Structure 1
Amino acid sequence: MFTLENIKLNKIVVSSTVIATALLISACSTTTRSVDGAVKYEVKDGKYTSYHVNTQKVVGKYNYGRTPTKTEIAAWDKDVMPDGTGLPEYDVKQGKIVLDDEGKPKKAEGSVEWGAELYDEQCAMCHGEFGTGGKGYPPLSASTASTASLKNQLLNPADENPGVEPPVKVIGTYWPYASTLFWYIQDSMPFPHPKSLSNSETYALVAYLLMENGVKIDGVALEDDFVLDKEKFLKIKMPNADGFYPNVDTPENPKKGVENIKAFLSNPKNYGTGTRCMNDCIKGDVPVLRIKNELNDFNPPASTERSWKEVGAKEVSQEQKNYETYCAACHANDAIGAPVVGNKDAWEEVVAQGMDAVYANGLNGINAMPPKGGSDLSDEDFKKVVDFMINSSK
Structure 2
Amino acid sequence: MRMRDGLLSAAIVLASTAAALADYGIGTPATPEEIAGWNISIGRDGDNLPAGSGDTVAGAEVFEQRCSACHGESGEGGIGDRLVGGQGTLSDERPIKTVGSYWPYATTLFDYIRRAMPLDSPQSLSADEVYAVSAYILMLNGIVDEGTVLDADSLPAIEMPNRDGFVLDDRPDVGQ
Query: TM class by shorter-chain length?
Result: 0.7 to 0.9
| 2:154 matches 1:232 | yes
Partner residue in 2 for 1:177: 105
Partner residue in 2 for 1:112: 56
Q: Please give the alpha-carbon distance, in whole angstroms, between the structure 1 residues aligned to 2:127 and 2:162.
A: 25
Greater RCO (CA < 8 Å, at least 6 residues apart)? 2
Gaps in structure 2 of 5+ consecutive residues: 172-176
Q: Please give the alpha-carbon distance, in whole angstroms, between the structure 2 residues aligned to 1:83 and 1:141.
A: 23
1:84 aligned counterpart, secondary structure: coil
Q: Please give the alpha-carbon distance, in whole angstroms, between the structure 2 residues aligned to 1:86 and 1:236.
A: 16
Deviations 1:90-137 (A, max 9, x none): 2xxxxxxxxxxxxxxxxx000110000000000000100110001x32
- Correspondence list, 1:166-315, <5 A: 166-215=94-143, 221-223=144-146, 225-245=147-167
Q: Please give the alpha-carbon distance, in whole angstroms, between the structure 2 residues aligned to 1:133 and 1:114.
A: 20
Deviations 1:306-360 (A, max 9, x none): xxxxxxxxxxxxxxxxxxxxxxxxxxxxxxxxxxxxxxxxxxxxxxxxxxxxxxx
CA shift, 1:54, in A, is 4.1
Q: Please give the alpha-carbon distance, in whole angstroms, between the structure 1 residues aligned to 2:154 and 2:99.
A: 18
Alignment root-mean-square deviation, CA: 2.3
Partner residue in 1 for 2:91: 151
| 2:64 matches 1:123 | no
Partner residue in 1 for 2:174: none
Q: Please give the alpha-carbon distance, in whole angstroms, between the structure 1 residues aligned to 2:160 and 2:114.
A: 19
Gaps in structure 1 of 5+ consecutive residues: 1-44, 47-52, 91-107, 154-165, 216-220, 246-254, 260-394
Q: Which of 41, 65, 89 is the equivalent residue of 1:79? A: 41
Task: Output the amino acid matched with 2:32.
Answer: K
- Per the normalisation by structure 1, the TM-score is 0.38
- Per the normalisation by structure 2, the TM-score is 0.80
Does the CA contact (< 8 Å) of 2:106 and 2:156 recur in 1?
no
Deviations 1:366-386 (A, max 9, x none): xxxxxxxxxxxxxxxxxxxxx
Q: Please give the alpha-carbon distance, in whole angstroms, between the structure 1 residues aligned to 2:11 and 2:112.
A: 42
Alignment coverage as a number of residue pairs? 159
Answer with 1 or 2: which has the greater Rg: 1
| 2:90 matches 1:137 | no
2:153 aligned counterpart, secondary structure: helix
Q: Please give the alpha-carbon distance, in whole angstroms, between the structure 1 residues aligned to 2:37 and 2:145.
A: 30
The percentage of aligned residue pairs carrying the same residue is 40
